[in-house]
């Protein structure tokens, strides 16, 4: 058994991305074929699963607090709309966009230009605390909406059922 070294853990996880083993595939209409959708971890699949990517992604913005407020509100409305239609895939994708709003805004709050690694220096981690303070406020806005989505009992029930039946 081999263990990752500290330097391996500090490197971007997407450097060893295996496209063929990734459960989400471009070219699939996940509304027509929801049985092919997997919940996964965190934000996995968020930038692939159509038509949801196009429906939700066009509203995803976090440059300022005001923009983050408007964006997260619209995405949360879509989340509720998908739930009302009993569309778990859409609701889960909206939840992922809310989560991604938080994580990306936090990255820009923590790192100047949102760059976490120096790709000119063997992907060495860059200095934290050099980012944009307004992004921290935008991240908090998205965080609250993301957690509200996860706390929704209708969503939790659909997710539990989905994972039990489809993965």
Q: Is the pLDDT of residue 4 over 70?
A: no
pTM of the model: 0.83
Q: Determine the Cα–Cα distance for residues 108 and 73; give it in Å rounded to an integer.
A: 21
Q: Would you say 138 and 65 are in contact if contact means Cβ atoms under 8 Å apart? A: yes
Backbone angles phi, psi at 102, to 5 degrees: -65, -55
pLDDT at 58: 97
User: Structure tokens of 79?
Assistant: 């989340």
User: Structure tokens of 165?
Assistant: 């039946």
Considering only 37-41, 57-61, 118-122, which range has the smallest mean pLDDT? Answer: 118-122
Domain range annotation of the chain? 21-165
H/E element, 75? helix 65-84
Q: Determine the Cα–Cα distance for residues 37 and 150; give it in Å rounded to an integer.
A: 18
Q: What pLDDT band is residue 151 in, cutting at 50, 70 and 90?
A: very high
Q: Is the pLDDT of residue 12 over 60?
A: no
Q: Determine the Cα–Cα distance for residues 34 and 92; give it in Å rounded to an integer.
A: 12
On the CB side of 94, how many CA atoms lie within 13 Å of its CA?
Answer: 26
Considering only 44-58, 117-131, 145-159, which range has the smallest mean pLDDT? Answer: 117-131
pLDDT at 13: 58
Render pLDDT for 82-122 as a digit per residue (tens, 0 to 9): 999 999 999 999 999 999 999 999 988 887 766 666 666 66
Contacts of 61 (CB under 8 A, 6+ apart): 67, 68, 70, 71
Cβ density class 85-112: b for 16+ within 10 Å, e for less: eebbbbbbbbbbbbbbbbebbbbbbbbe
């Amino acid at each position: 058994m081999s263990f990752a070294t500290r330097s391996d853990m500090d490197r971007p996880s997407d450097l060893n991305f295996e496209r063929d083993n990734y459960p989400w595939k471009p070219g699939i209409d996940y509304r027509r074929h929801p049985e092919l959708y997997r919940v996964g971890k965190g934000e996995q699949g968020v930038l692939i699963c159509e038509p949801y990517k196009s429906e939700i992604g066009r509203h995803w913005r976090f440059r300022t607090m005001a923009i983050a407020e408007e964006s997260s509100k619209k995405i949360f409305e879509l989340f509720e709309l998908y739930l009302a239609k009993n569309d778990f895939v859409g609701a889960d994708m909206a939840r992922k966009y809310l989560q991604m709003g938080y994580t990306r805004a936090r990255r820009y709050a923590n790192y100047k230009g949102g760059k976490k690694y120096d790709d000119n220096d063997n992907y060495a981690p860059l200095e934290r605390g050099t980012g944009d303070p307004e992004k921290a406020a935008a991240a908090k806005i998205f965080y609250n909406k993301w957690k509200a989505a996860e706390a929704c009992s209708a969503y939790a029930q659909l997710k539990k059922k989905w994972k039990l039946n489809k993965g």
